Structure 1
Amino acid sequence: MASNVAALCFFALIASASATVFFEEKFGAGWEEKWTPSTWKQSEGTAGEFTWTAGKWYNDEEADKGIQTGPDARFYAISAEMEPFSNEGKDLVVQFTAKHEQKLDCGGGYIKIMPGGSDMAAFSGDTPYNIMFGPDICGVSTKRVHVIFNYKGENLLTKKTITCETDELSHLYTLIVKPDNTYKVLIDNVEKASGDLEADWDFLKPAQIKDPEASKPEDWDERPKIDDPEDVKPEGFDDIPEKIEDPEAEKPEDWDDEDDGEWEAPMIDNPDYKGEWSPKQIDNPDYKGMWEAPLIDNPEYVADDKLYLYEDNKYVGFELWQVKSGSIFDNVLVTDDIEYAAKVGEETWGAMKDGEKAMFDKAEEEKKAEEAAEREKAEEERKKLEEEGEGEDEEPVEEEEDEYEDTKDEL
């Protein structure tokens, strides 16, 4: 028994030793030395800047510092270099926290993993990337988590809709890509989506297609219902008029045939009229359903058991457009160790969330109290103005009464 426990510990140590952290950034002091702001959009005056802050609510002001976008309506781009790696045969985990304390109305909040070969000093929306992952919010319609993979030069967006968080607090976003071509997306360490890469992205041509040479057989019957051949039109059916004279109508007593013409009763709908006759419908015994061409193997389909694979991963960065700035990004992690990523998530986001929420709730209460006080003050001022206005209206009346008394005395 002891030998088995020792063996398990040995293999656990081997697994732990083989796990690699490719990049980790908690944005402590000196973070600027690792990150390169892009010159993209600077000449146009539309480049934003990242500032180092914990924001307006936090658990620990120093420990919870990240990089925040500002000012509004700007493009943002910043990147850091990793030790180049390939994820062949390994899990790949990309994780970070995002806090939209400005209540983001339109803008991105995603991270990118990029290959080498690009000038990261000019990092832009055109810079090639391997993976783009994170929340994107714009208006009412777009509130989703982007998971985009580059495959043979084409950026492919997931076919699933993964809803992102839209409040003003920090949330942990985790993407796991496994060497068996499966994936998971977690938010706050809770699984929100998972599945097969080939099924949920258009990496490959479809494995099967409709046979282009197939045609519908001439005797294929697509009619679910048919006329009942035994249903016969009743005799005299077509003789029933649509309108008849109102049997309850009476000729008015003052009706003069010579002056008014011959009186005729008004016409009304005939309750016995049934419209045009048609035989009743019955189930078609020969119905075969709607015809579809049979599926055949797609000659253009080429299987790929390495859809997950990116041989060259060298940079990590944020490249965003935000109408309303103020998003804070923190706790960036790129690793092949799923357990370590979960541990880091709990030690960072997990440790801050309760204190941050308490500070946010307190700020909201103070804000509501201040707004209520302002409304009360405004109401008091309104009432005061109304009272003053009523007093001003009474004075001319008194003057008019005095003038009337003077006139009466003179008379």
Structure 2
Amino acid sequence: MKISTAFAALGLASTVAAEVYFKETFDDDTWSTRWAASKHRDDYGQFKVTPGKFYADEKTSRGLQTSENARFYSLIAPLDKEFQHKDKPFVLQFSVKFEQNIDCGGGYLKVVPPGVDSATFHGESPYNIMFGPDICGYDKKTHVIFSHKEKNHLIKKTIAPGSDQMTHLYTLIVNPDKTYKVEIDGEEKAAGSLAEDWDILPAKKIKDPEAKKPADWVDDATIPDPEDKKPEGYDDIPEYIADPDATKPEDWDDDMDGEWEAPKISNVEFKGEWKPKQIPNPAYKGVWIHPEIDNPEYDASEVIADYTSASLAFDLWQVKAGTIFDDIIVTDSIEEAAAFAKETYEVKKPLEKAAKDKLDEEEKAAAAAKAEEARLKAEAEAKAKEAEAAEKVEEVKSEEAEVKEHEKDEL
């Protein structure tokens, strides 16, 4: 009976289907029925849906693009149903295209708990996870931030984002055992444990506040050799001497300028400050190590990242707009996210590259044509000026001839 029950349970578990909690491609105009704009500020930047200047396909490459420079942006959309992270993987995946060749701005998403009002959502509103690229000048990173007890904890690793103008795919996987993986364009960039790569929990051990280094502890590994003596005459060698090649200027007036002194130069024979050589310290006890004790604030049973999530949100600042977000999915299946990436990002990637190369060639040709047009225009203007100058010369010569002819007639 127990065996049959076990097999029944196993069969039931194997039939549990992967679940998708949110999927967004922006391929049609229904996206605006899912995403709500915050009213926390009255000067938020506007999003628009577009495939951008270069793309794989005009329809399937449509994404949500920031459109106004130096603006905050805010949008929030509910998941199809609340996601309990505790007993299954949490996977967030989306693509980001910094088409504007971004100088400073965010490209991340926030995973938001229940109870946050979309109308008042803003940068200080609580969130469970923040994930995605953030670039400002030379500071380029991929944020992976987890909230715990109303405090946001940043990953201790540095994960370089895709920072060119092409589309890049960002995937965050958080497993029930609190291990994680970050992938960019399908390649693993970071992996490990939430307990180790974030300072979410207090340290297991702390330095014993009652322990003090003994007053007689000797931690100098070497001491000056008492047998080493300074050489005779060492201090008689000056660091600087009068320049022997310097001569008194001819216009130097002792009464006016004072007594002349040759400028000083470094003395090549100067040996510097004398110090006795070092020898091992016989009293050396080694490096004192502060004893540690169990941290009373550490609780091994404390649970981290067991969130309930209800929404996804954009909460961004961008100096130069133009970032395009696309192909967002939230699921409890790593395989589901990988399949979605295969049918979206992987299909579009080579086509987008070809489109970008074509656009670059067109822009290069247009720039060359413009430069040639400017050269021909400048050349024509120069010739016109030369002709105008020659014409004026002829006019002057004609006027001079008329004057001479008039003078001849008067004579």
- Please give the TM-score of this superposition, normalised by the length of structure 2: 0.82
Within the alignment, does 1:165 sit opposite 2:165 as a pair?
Answer: no
Match of residue 300 from structure 2: 303
Report what 1:349 is aligned to. Answer: 345
State how 1:387-398 maps to structure 2 within 5 Å: 387-398=383-394
| Letter of the structure 2 residue corresponding to residue 281 of structure 1 | Q
- Corresponding residue to 2:90 among 66, 78, 92: 92
What amino acid is the match of 1:368?
A: K
Measured in 1, the distance between the counterparts of 2:268 and 2:282 equals: 36
Q: What is aligned with 1:21?
A: 20
Matches within 5 A, 1:180-219: 180-219=177-216
Contact kept, 8 Å, 1:181 with 1:305, in 2: the verdict is no
Give 1:362 deviation, angstroms.
0.5
Question: How much does 1:333 deviate?
Answer: 1.0
Q: Is the 8 A contact 1:35 1:78 kept in 2?
A: no
Distance in structure 1 (CA, Å) of the matches to 2:22 and 2:31: 15
Cα distance in structure 1, aligned partners of 2:239 and 2:55: 79
- State which of 331, 336, 356 in structure 2 corresponds to 1:335: 331
Q: What is the CA-CA distance between 1:350 and the residue it aligns to? A: 0.6
- Per-residue deviation at 1:11? 6.9
TM-aligned CA deviation for residue 286 of structure 1? 4.4
CA deviations on 1:34-88 (whole Å, 9 max, x unpaired) are: 513224255x3x1233323222222222222222222333332222222113111
2:354 matched residue in structure 1: 358
Secondary structure of 1:198's counterpart equals: helix
Aligned CA-pair RMSD: 3.4
Cα drift, residue 108 of structure 1: 1.6
1:144 pairs with 2:160: no
Q: Please, which runs of 5 or more residues in structure 1 have no aligned partner? A: 1-7, 250-264
Letter in 2 for 1:202: D
1:114 corresponding residue in structure 2: 112
Partner of 1:31: 30
- Cα gap change, 1:76/1:155 in structure 2, threshold over 3 Å: closer, same or farther? same
Q: How does 1:239-258 map to 2 (within 5 A)?
A: none
C-alpha distance in structure 2 between counterparts of 1:360 and 1:273, whole Å: 66
For residue 221 of structure 1, the aligned residue among 215, 218, 221 is 218
C-alpha separation in 1, matches of 2:148 and 2:66: 30
Q: 1:170 to 1:15 in 2, by over 3 A?
A: farther
Displacement of 1:295 in angstroms is: 2.6
Q: Match for 2:378: what amino acid?
A: R
Contact 2:219 2:284 in 1 (8 A): yes
Specify whether residues 85 and 242 from structure 1 end up closer, same or farther in structure 2 by C-alpha distance, changes over 3 A only: closer
Amino acid at match of 1:150: S
**Equivalent pairs, count:** 385
1:122-137 alignment, distance < 5 Å: 122-137=120-135
The residue that corresponds to 1:55 in the other structure is 52
**Aligned-partner SS, 1:344:** helix
Deviation, structure 1 residue 248: 11
Does the CA-based 8 Å contact 2:40-2:121 persist in structure 1? no
Distance in 2 (CA, whole Å) between partners of 1:248 and 1:53 is 77
Shift in Å, 1:402: 5.8
Counterparts in 2 of 1:360 and 1:237: CA distance versus 1, 3 Å: closer
| CA apart distance, 1:93 | 0.6
Q: Secondary structure at the match of 1:215?
A: coil
Segments of structure 2 that go 5 or more residues without pairing to the other structure are 1-6, 247-261
The answer to whether the Cα contact below 8 Å between 2:148 and 2:305 also exists between their aligned partners in 1 is no
Structure 2 partner of 1:175? 172
Which region of structure 1 is more displaced relative to structure 2, 81-90 or 224-233? Answer: 224-233
Q: CA deviation at 1:403?
A: 6.3
Distance 1:123 1:302 in 2: 33
Closer/same/farther in 2, CA of residues 346 and 396 from structure 1, 3 Å limit:
same
Distance, in Å, in 2 between the alignment partners of 1:267 and 1:36 is 77
For 2:66 and 2:270, locate their aligned partners in 1 and report how far apart those are by CA, in whole Å: 75
Aligned to 1:252: none
Quick one: distance in 2 between partners of 1:394 and 1:370? 36
Distance 2:269 2:276 in 1: 18
| CA deviation map 1:136-193 (0-9, x unaligned) | 122222x211111111111112122111111222111100111222111101111111
Residue in 2 that maps onto 1:371: 367
For residues 225-262 of structure 1, give each alpha carbon's deviation from its aligned partner in whole angstroms, at most 9, with x where no partner exists.
Answer: 4222222234555566778999999xxxxxxxxxxxxx
CA contact (8 A) 2:74 2:122 kept: yes
Q: Give me the whole-angstrom Cα distance separating, in 2, the residues matched to 1:29 and 1:177.
A: 30
Task: Name the aligned partner's letter for residue 34 of structure 2.
Answer: W
Secondary structure in 2 matching 1:122: coil
Among the aligned pairs, what percent are the same residue? 49
Q: 1:342-380: per-residue Cα shift (whole Å, max 9, x none)?
A: 111111101111111111111111011101111111122
2:170 maps to a residue whose letter is Y
Q: Given that residues 40 and 120 in structure 2 are in contact (C-alpha distance below 8 angstroms), is that contact kept between their aligned partners in structure 1?
A: no
Q: How far apart are 1:292 and its partner, in Å? A: 4.6
Length-normalised TM-score, structure 1: 0.82
Could you tell me whether the CA contact under 8 Å between 2:40 and 2:119 is conserved in 1?
no
